[in-house]
């Protein structure tokens, strides 16, 4: 063993001289606690860091050294003007599975790889999806407000929720996240329908008790809860609009943990106001955050969280580590294994 295996997190690089580490561009990680400092420290174990602001202040000095760009929460914005400052760039390491914020064909045309972290955030996103479903169905947030209200002197009898156990869940998008949502909902004895670009194997379906719906319309008409877990593509942009919402039950709830652009938000506002559907629970919107005067923010039958599907300590740490692993693989010429590169079809 010549010790030249693909360096990653399994291999301790603490003994590597600082000047031997490749240079990476990151947006300065700042937060209200020490967690973001911990993430930054993980990156520094393997890379010499140039912060985005430093690059902007002195691009001639810093730009040519940078071999890896870490895109975290869609920042820094990966625009053509940025690439002109980075002639030695080898890889854009993006956190999460979505790459809709990246122009993959353009990046690849420059000889730069794009690597993402599929699977790392599936569990935490599925957990939140079920949390949104339960919180909306059982009006947990409304109950919390009543419990805290100093004017509350009697327990309310009018806070009536929707039964989750035994209801029908329609999952649109049965990839990693959608499948893990199905696994969780099986524990609630839900009848599970799913619509996907490709049908999963019979064994997959039996394992979670999910039935394939070739017709999206059929799923919408039959479901008590409609869960969006698709990737954002030209085909899924605006997937749920006026027509689709009109097919849903008036007692149904729409839950979105994919991307805000999958839903026509004007149509959603109208459907919620008119009673076409009962409620919506959204971890994603477009834009993020919504303008403070957006009508969705004023509706009583909407629950919105600020895109926190991946926001757990374990998931964030795993994501950063996978990004580093991918970036190291691309930066080291002797490495035989390539990062999890995204190939544009």
Q: What are phi and psi of 227, to 5 degrees?
A: -110, 120
Q: Which of 288, 292, 294, 318 is catalytic?
A: 288
- State how far the Cα of 146 lies from the Cα of 159, in Å rounded to an integer: 10
Per-residue CA distances from 254 to 46, 132, 223 (Å): 43, 10, 10
Query: Contact at 8 Å (CB) between 20 and 44?
Result: no
In three-state secondary structure terms, 287 is coil
What lies within 8 Å, CB to CB, of 153 at 6+ separation is none
Edge-to-edge strands of the sheet including 210-212? 210-212, 191-195, 168-172, 225-228, 253-256, 279-282, 302-304
Known catalytic residue: 288?
Answer: yes
Q: What are phi and psi of 124, to 5 degrees?
A: -65, -35
Structure tokens at 336: 């035989």
Structure tokens at 320: 């950063």
What lies within 8 Å, CB to CB, of 212 at 6+ separation is 193, 194, 195, 196, 199, 200, 205
Q: Which of 46, 62, 200, 307 is catalytic?
A: 307
Helix residue ranges per DSSP H, 160-209: 176-186, 202-208
Q: Which of 62, 184, 259, 318 is catalytic?
A: 259
Known catalytic residue: 259?
Answer: yes
Query: Contact at 8 Å (CB) between 259 and 288?
Result: no
Structure tokens at 319: 């994501």
C-alpha angle with apex 334: 330 to 337, nearest 5 degrees?
A: 55
Known catalytic residue: 334?
Answer: no
C-alpha angle with apex 339: 335 to 342, nearest 5 degrees?
A: 145
Structure tokens at 63: 């730009």
- State how far the Cα of 323 lies from the Cα of 309, in Å rounded to an integer: 18
- State how far the Cα of 14 lies from the Cα of 38, in Å rounded to an integer: 16
Q: Which residue numbers are catalytic?
A: 259, 288, 307
């Amino acid at each position: 063993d010549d010790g030249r295996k693909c360096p990653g997190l399994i291999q301790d690089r603490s003994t590597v001289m600082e000047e031997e580490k490749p240079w990476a561009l990151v947006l300065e990680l700042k937060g209200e606690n020490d967690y973001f400092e911990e993430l930054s420290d993980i990156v520094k174990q393997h890379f010499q860091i140039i912060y985005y602001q430093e690059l902007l202040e002195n691009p001639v000095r810093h730009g040519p050294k940078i071999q890896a760009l870490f895109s975290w929460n869609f920042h820094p914005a990966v625009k053509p003007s940025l690439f002109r400052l980075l002639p030695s760039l080898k890889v854009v390491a993006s956190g999460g599975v979505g790459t809709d914020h990246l122009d993959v064909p353009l990046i690849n045309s420059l000889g730069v790889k794009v690597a993402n972290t599929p699977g790392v955030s599936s569990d935490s996103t599925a957990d939140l999806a079920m949390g949104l479903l339960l919180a909306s169905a059982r009006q947990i947030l409304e109950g919390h407000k009543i419990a805290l209200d100093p004017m509350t002197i009697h327990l309310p009898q009018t806070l009536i929720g929707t039964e989750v156990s035994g209801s029908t869940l329609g999952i649109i998008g049965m990839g990693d996240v959608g499948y893990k949502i199905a696994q969780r909902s099986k524990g609630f004895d839900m009848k599970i329908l799913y619509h996907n670009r490709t049908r999963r194997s019979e064994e997959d379906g039996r394992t979670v008790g999910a039935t394939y719906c070739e017709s999206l319309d059929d799923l919408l008409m039959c479901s008590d809860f409609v869960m969006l877990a698709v990737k954002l593509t030209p085909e899924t942009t605006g997937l749920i609009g006026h027509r689709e919402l009109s097919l849903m039950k008036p007692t149904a709830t729409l839950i979105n943990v994919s991307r805000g652009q999958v839903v026509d938000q004007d149509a959603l506002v109208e459907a919620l106001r008119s009673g076409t559907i009962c409620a919506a629970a959204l971890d994603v919107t477009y834009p993020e955050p919504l303008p403070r005067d957006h009508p969705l923010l004023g509706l009583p039958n909407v629950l919105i969280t600020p895109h926190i599907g991946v926001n757990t300590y374990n998931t964030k740490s795993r994501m950063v580590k996978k990004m580093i692993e991918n970036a190291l693989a691309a930066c080291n010429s002797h490495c035989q294994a390539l990062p999890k590169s995204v190939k544009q079809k």
